Structure 1
Amino acid sequence: MANRVLVLNGPNLNLLGTREPQTYGFETLKDIQTMCAATAEMLGLDLDFRQSNHEGELVTWIQEARGMADAILINPAAYSHTSVAIHDALRAADLPVAEVHLSNIHQREAFRHHSYVSSVAYGVICGFGSLGYKLALEALAQKLK
């Protein structure tokens, strides 16, 4: 049975491709989902790909992951810098977590330099655009072996 990875995307990522393309690029979230599905298939992973603009919904999905996933890949977007609730849910899930950011959060505004998610993540990838998702899936596949 394939290991299952829950891929969660936070607020405003549904606007990729049109929102600040100089920062986030021209790929859409659907493009990233397609790339992730192809990568997961190559790695023998089962993928569940979701996006929400609502913190509580993300927390609920993380809580549900305890019984249905083997790892979590999360791009918490702006919630990285504000959400203790997502931090606590990820800690409680007790699963390997890969944190991904399309942009290099350390080259941006000072408030983006801290992530509440990073301290509970197995690894953090930022600044490589959508390639970060592929790299995170590869890292999680290796971790789950």
Structure 2
Amino acid sequence: MRIKKLEERGIIQTYDSMVAVQRFGIESYRLLLTLSKMDGKVRKRVFSYANENPRIWLAAETVGSWNFELVFEVENHAELERELAQLRGMLGGMISRMEILIMFSEDYYFNSWPFKKSGQHRETQARNQYRG
């Protein structure tokens, strides 16, 4: 009953679960991107690509030296290479810097604040703010 009241007041807005996919043979990689050109069209293209790609678990625009962070979940390194080739093809020569980090099950953390409950994954909510 107490939790229900917190939900009704909007204090609890959503529930999330985190799965350590590595236990199921899935590999996770965090891709950090810096682009030479950043505008609304490029931003929309990146988020549209991420929203349509089932291998991307998280897409975020970042502050600092990187423009975007993408988290890929793939079956193996070869699949990641195919995904990166597709991304490079879409962005052309705009990628000025890229770093790929291997993620381990201990790396999973995410604070979904300030996203609100809408029936969508929090990443999709973030991506949809750039749709026209």
Structures share a fold, TM > 0.5?
no
TM-score normalised over the length of structure 1: 0.26
User: Which fold has the larger relative contact order, with Cα–Cα distance below 8 Å and residues 6 or more apart in sequence?
Assistant: 2
TM-score normalised over the length of structure 2: 0.27
Per residue, is there more strand in 1 or in 2? 2
Per residue, is there more helix in 1 or in 2? 1
Larger Rg: 2
